Amino acid sequence: MKLVHSPVELRALVAEWRRDRLKVSMVPTMGNLHAGHYSLVRGARERGDRVVASVFVNPTQFGPHEDFARYPRTLDADARGLAAQDCDVLFAPAVEAVYPFGTEAATRVEVVGVTETLEGAFRPGHFAGVATVVLRLLNLVQPDVALFGRKDYQQLLTIRRLVTDLCLPIEIVAAPTVREANGLAMSSRNQYLSADERDRAAQIYRTLQHMRDGVLRGDALEAIEAAAVAELDAAGFHTDYAAIRQATDLSASTPGQCDGLIALIATRLGSTRLIDNLAIDG
């Protein structure tokens, strides 16, 4: 596997692959890779002749009081893990390569329609930062296919809309959430949790399952959402939202609807904020 920092070098490699008519798949990440990322890389391997994984901790998607400074940076371990998954290139650009005019003066992309609610309401500017960097990374690498995890569901919808709306000729593939044995969704942020908190964090997935069961039983959605928050409160969480929405665009569901819904939770355990979701199909 090649470690590439320079966009010029990356472009030369990709141009060579294109001359050989090879299909390029990409997995954009912020590094600190875990089994969830590696399943994306395996999906990329299945879909492409060449696989590029990017590692870039994107400053513009973190709020002023979020964990940008302490976000774990583990490039050497990431490189070893990616090589073991038969990744072809690890692209790790510098901030100046991604934001040549600096982050303040960067051209920004605002995806409208799916970004205002839920995460967007609690993390103002987050999805503009995500869309801004993903467009840059896709333009730098120019893959045929890019893979994103379902765990960050609203991010996935945002990126799908970005790619469709801006006419990028790239297929976006959604990959299933990978979970710990206790149900906790894998996330780089799990390492902020103590051993005890990791055990307790399994409650999030249990609560999502209870929300799904409630919808399938025909319970009122407001009651299901309130019960979910109460359940998380009782387990020591501070919850930003526990919501049931349309899976297509996160708008409100219609009365009596069972199909095409999704339950989503964002909640805090100590100082760690965790998100997860579960699709509901009647």
Residue 2: enclosing H or E segment and its boundaries? strand 2-4
CA distances to 61, 184, 237 from 67, in Å:
10, 20, 19
Size of the site for ligand PAF (CB under 6 A): 10
Q: Is 134 in the site for ligand PAF (CB under 6 A)?
A: yes
- Least CB distance to ligand PAF at residue 117 (A): 18
Query: Which among 22-30, 39-47, 236-244, 258-266 is the span making contact with ligand PAF, rule CB under 6 A?
Result: 22-30
Q: Is 133 in the site for ligand PAF (CB under 6 A)?
A: yes
DSSP single-letter state for residue 245: E
Return the residue of 61, 115, 187, 203 that touches ligand PAF, per CB under 6 A: 61
- Least CB distance to ligand PAF at residue 134 (A): 5
Work out the number of other CB atoms within 10 angstroms of the CB of residue 104.
7
Q: Is 152 in the site for ligand PAF (CB under 6 A)?
A: yes
**Exposure class string for 198-231: b at 16+ Cβ within 10 A, else e:** bebbbbbbebbebbbebbeeeeebeebbebbbeb
Q: Is 58 in the site for ligand PAF (CB under 6 A)?
A: yes
- Token couple for 183: 């149900």
Q: Is 60 in the site for ligand PAF (CB under 6 A)?
A: no
Return the residue of 130, 184, 208, 232 that touches ligand PAF, per CB under 6 A: 130
Q: Is 111 in the site for ligand PAF (CB under 6 A)?
A: no
CB nearer to ligand PAF: give 25 or 58.
58
> Catalytic residue at 37?
yes
Residues 240, 266: Cα–Cα separation, whole Å: 5
Q: Is 115 in the site for ligand PAF (CB under 6 A)?
A: no
Asked whether the beta carbons of 146 and 173 are under 8 A apart, the reply is yes
Q: Which residues pair with 277 in a beta bridge?
A: 264
3-state secondary structure of 37: helix
- Least CB distance to ligand PAF at residue 170 (A): 13
- Least CB distance to ligand PAF at residue 41 (A): 13
- Token couple for 98: 């991604």
The footprint of ligand PAF (CB under 6 A) covers 28-30, 58, 61, 130, 133-134, 152, 155
Q: Which residues are catalytic?
A: 37
